[in-house]
Amino acid sequence: MIDLHCHILPNVDDGPQSVDESLAMARLAVKDGIREIVATPHSLNGIYSNSTQNVVSGVAAFNEILSANGIDLKVYPGADLHLCKNMIQRIENGEACTINNAGKFILLELPSQMVPNGVKDEIFALKLNGITPIITHPERNAVIQHDPNILYELIQMGALAQVTAMSLTGDFGEFIANVSGILVRDRLIHMIATDAHSSVDRPPVLSDAVEQVGELLKNYDEALSMVRAVPEAIFSGRFPDLGERSPARRSGKAA
């Protein structure tokens, strides 16, 4: 499996604060069947400064540590970009890393309590410049929780969406689990990722969530594609083949 969203690099954000903790996360990931991870430290949030150059060099160093410790895991560069103005310019300036530094996809985190008016302008500008934003954990956004059609509109503009594994498995509560299920069934989710920050409280585990999505969709192969074929295409710089999945607009509110 492939994890497109993981805070595994040590001492760069609110993820692991030591190499040992990063290695503990890596071992858990491998045990769960994850073989490739995109390291996605927070970026453009006004707190952490993780330039493309620093992320790329940090990933290279961590891959050497993984190899030295006999851990069969490959890590790729990326970032967890927080929505802000002038994202294209800041990406081009090297302030934030695209997925696998390929210039084609970014993880885009919205504020938790709102969907800013400028989000559509930023998505339009990104797409115009050949970059597809992946909306991270929309199930945790207060506006989308009550009106999934907001996410539908962003997807219609060309965005993709990623649900967090622990949201699906109920670790963030029943309400978020229910919202996650609605988004999955409405085909508003394209991939599952861990958004892991530690080996204990927020570990890099995907398999339980894949099982959950398989049950929600009555289609385990489609669930598996969310952690294999879809993320593989993305970190290779290709738009994923989404098959016949068509997102659904809801006639009413979700909650």
Bridge partners of 74?
Answer: 36
Torsion of CA 109, 112, 189, 135, to 10 degrees: -20
Question: What is the rounded distance in angstroms from the CA atom of residue 206 to the CA atom of residue 169?
Answer: 10
**Lookup result for tokens 């060099």:** 57
User: Residue 131: what residue type?
Assistant: I
Q: Vertex 228, ends 226 and 231: CA angle to 5°?
A: 75
Question: What is the rounded distance in angstroms from the CA atom of residue 83 to the CA atom of residue 44?
Answer: 8
The secondary structure of 97-159 as a DSSP string is PPGGG-SSEEEEEPPSS---TTHHHHHHHHHHTT-EEEEE-GGG-HHHHH-THHHHHHHHTT-
The model carries a pTM of 0.95
| CATH class for the domain made up of 2-235 | alpha beta
User: Residue 205: what residue type?
Assistant: V
Give the 3-state secondary structure of 51-99.
CHHHHHHHHHHHHHHHHHCCCCCEEEECCEEECCCCHHHHHHCCCCCCH
- Beta carbons of 167 and 208 less than 8 angstroms apart: no
User: What pLDDT is recorded for position 246?
Assistant: 65
Helix/strand/coil for 18:
coil
User: What pLDDT is recorded for position 254?
Assistant: 58
User: Could you give phi then psi for residue 6, rounded to 5 degrees?
Assistant: -150, 130
Show the tokens assigned to 168. Answer: 């699906």
| Tens of pLDDT, residue by residue, the chain (255 residues) | 999 999 999 999 999 999 999 999 999 999 999 999 999 999 998 898 899 999 999 999 999 999 999 999 999 999 999 999 899 999 999 999 999 999 999 999 999 999 999 999 999 999 999 999 999 999 999 999 999 999 999 999 999 999 999 999 999 999 999 999 999 999 999 999 999 999 999 999 999 999 999 999 999 999 999 999 999 999 899 999 987 666 867 655 655
Question: What is the rounded distance in angstroms from the CA atom of residue 40 to the CA atom of residue 118?
Answer: 23
